[in-house]
Amino acid sequence: MPSVTIDGRKYEFEGHPRLLQFCLDHGIEVPHFCYHPSMSVPANCRQCLVDIGAPVRSRATGELERTEDGEPVIRYFPKLQTSCSHTLADGQVVHTSRSSDKVARAQQDNLELMLINHPLDCPICDQAGMCPLQIQAYKYGPEGSRFEFRKTHKPKKVKLGPHVVLDAERCINCTRCTRFTDEISRSHQLTIIDRGVKNYPLTPPGLVFDDPYSMNVIDLCPVGALTSADFRFQARIWEMSSTPSIITASAKGSNCYYWVRDNLILRVTPRPNPEVNDFWLPDEDRLAYRCFNEDRPGGPEIREDGARQGATWEAACARAAELLSAAGLRSVFLASALATVEDNYLLMALARMTGGTVAGYLPHIAPGHGDGWLRTDERAPNGEGCRRLGLGPADVDALNEQIAKGEYDVLYVLEDDPVAAGLSELGAVSVILHYHNTTNRTLSLADVALPAATAAETIGTFVNVDGRAQRVVPAKAIRGAHRTLMMHMGLSRADRHGTPFDRWHNESHLINCKPSWELLPAVAGAMGHRMDYPGPRQIMDEVSSTVPAFGGATHKAMGLAGVKLPEV
Among 48, 190, 316, 413, binds ligand FES (CB under 6 A): 48
Instruction: Residue 197: name its binding partner from ligand SF4, other proteins, ligand FES, none (Cβ under 5 to 8 Å by kind).
Output: other proteins
177 binds ligand FES, rule: CB under 6 A: no
Region of 112-120, 257-265, 310-318, 340-348 interacting with other proteins (CB under 8 A): 112-120
48, 52, 106, 221: residue in contact with ligand SF4 (rule CB under 6 A): 221
Three-class SS of 107-174: HHHHHHHHHHCCCCCHHHCCCCCCCHHHHHHHHHCCCCCCCCCCCCCCCCCEECCCCEEECHHHCCCC
Q: What is the SS3 assignment for 328-341? A: CCCEEEEECCCCCH
Choosing from 33, 231, 289, 345, the residue that interacts with ligand FES (CB under 6 A) is: 33
Contact string (CB under 8 A) for other proteins, positions 132-171, x = contact: --------------xx-x--x-------------------
| 171 counts as binding ligand SF4 under rule CB under 6 A | yes
Sole binder of ligand SF4 in the list 32, 154, 176, 271 (CB under 6 A):
176
**Cβ closest to ligand FES, residue 199 vs residue 357:** 199
Q: Does 121 bind other proteins (CB under 8 A)?
A: no
- Is 196 a binding residue for other proteins by CB under 8 A? The answer is yes
Q: Does 34 bind ligand FES (CB under 6 A)?
A: yes
- Given candidates 37, 42, 91, 129, which one binds other proteins under the rule CB under 8 A? 42
Spatial separation of the C-alpha atoms in residues 260 and 138, rounded to whole Å: 27
Half-sphere exposure in the Cβ direction for 565 (13 Å, CA): 27
Interstrand relation of 563-564 and 468-472 (parallel, antiparallel or unpaired): antiparallel
Site size with other proteins, rule: CB under 8 A: 36
Alpha carbon 208 to chain centroid, angstroms = 26
List, in sequence order, every residue forming a beta bridge with 192; answer none if it has no partner: 201
**Which of 35/292 has CB closer to ligand FES?**
35
Q: Rule CB under 8 A: say whether 316 interacts with other proteins.
A: no
User: Given candidates 46, 375, 388, 537, which one binds other proteins under the rule CB under 8 A?
Assistant: 46
Helix (H) / strand (E) element for 315: namely helix 313-327
Q: Least CB distance from residue 193 to other proteins, whole Å?
A: 9
Q: Rounded to whole angstroms, what are the CA distances from 202 to 167, 188, 199?
A: 11, 11, 9
Q: Which does 35 bind (CB under 5 to 8 A by kind): ligand FES, other proteins, ligand SF4, none?
A: ligand FES
**Nearer to ligand SF4 by C-beta: 92 or 227?**
227
User: Which residue is closest to ligand FES by CB?
Assistant: 84
Q: How far is the CB of 218 from other proteins (least distance, A)?
A: 22
| Residue 138 interface partner, choices ligand FES, ligand SF4, other proteins, none, CB cut-off 5-8 Å depending on type | none
45 contributes a contact to ligand FES by CB under 6 A? yes
Phi, psi of 138 (to 5 degrees): -65, -40
Which partner in ligand SF4, ligand FES, other proteins, none is near 117 (CB below 5 to 8 A by kind)? other proteins
Do the beta carbons of residue 170 and residue 179 sit within 8 Å? no
State yes or no: residue 113 binds other proteins (CB under 8 A). Answer: yes
Stretch that binds other proteins, among 40-48, 443-451, 509-517, 547-555 (CB under 8 A): 40-48
CA 108, CA 504: separation in Å to the nearest integer?
Answer: 41
Residues 112-131 that bind ligand FES (CB under 6 A): none
If one asks whether residue 172 binds ligand SF4 (CB under 6 A), the answer comes out as yes
- The backbone region for 390, taken as left when phi is positive above 0, alpha when psi lies in -120 to 50, beta otherwise, is left
Q: What whole-number distance in Å separates Cα of residue 157 and Cα of residue 152?
A: 15
165 binds ligand SF4 (CB under 6 A): no
Nearest approach in angstroms of CB 549 to ligand FES is: 45
Query: At 417, phi and psi to the nearest 5?
Result: -135, 85
User: DSSP class of residue 181?
Assistant: I
Q: For residue 340, what are the contacts with CB-CB under 8 A and spacing of at least 6?
A: 382, 385, 455, 458, 460, 461, 462, 472, 516, 517, 536
Segment interacting with ligand FES (CB under 6 A) among 39-47, 374-382, 396-404, 522-530: 39-47
Instruction: Confirm or reject binding of residue 49 to ligand SF4 (CB under 6 A).
Output: no
How far is it between the farthest Cα atoms of the chain? 102
Classify residue 436 by its DSSP letter: S
Residues 177-206 binding ligand SF4 (CB under 6 A) are: 177, 201
The enclosing H or E element of 432 equals strand 430-435
The residue within the footprint of ligand FES, chosen from 6, 22, 28, 32 (CB under 6 A), is 32
CB of 196 to other proteins, least distance (A): 4
454 is an interface residue for ligand SF4 by CB under 6 A: no
Would you report the helix, strand and coil content of the chain in percent, each value rounded to 5?
30, 20, 50
Residue 331 in contact with ligand SF4, rule: CB under 6 A? no
Q: How many CB atoms are located within 10 Å of the residue 92 CB?
A: 20
Q: Does 120 bind other proteins (CB under 8 A)?
A: no
Which one, 114 or 539, has the nearer CB to ligand SF4?
A: 114
Beta strands in 444-562 (DSSP E): 448-451, 460-463, 468-472
Residue 62 burial (CB count, 10 A) = 7
| 3-state secondary structure (DSSP) of residue 98 | coil
Residues of this chain that interact with other proteins (CB under 8 A) are 41-47, 49, 78-80, 82, 85, 106, 109-110, 112-114, 116-117, 146-147, 149, 152, 172-173, 175, 191-192, 194-199
Residues of this chain that interact with ligand SF4 (CB under 6 A) are 171-177, 201, 220-223, 225-226
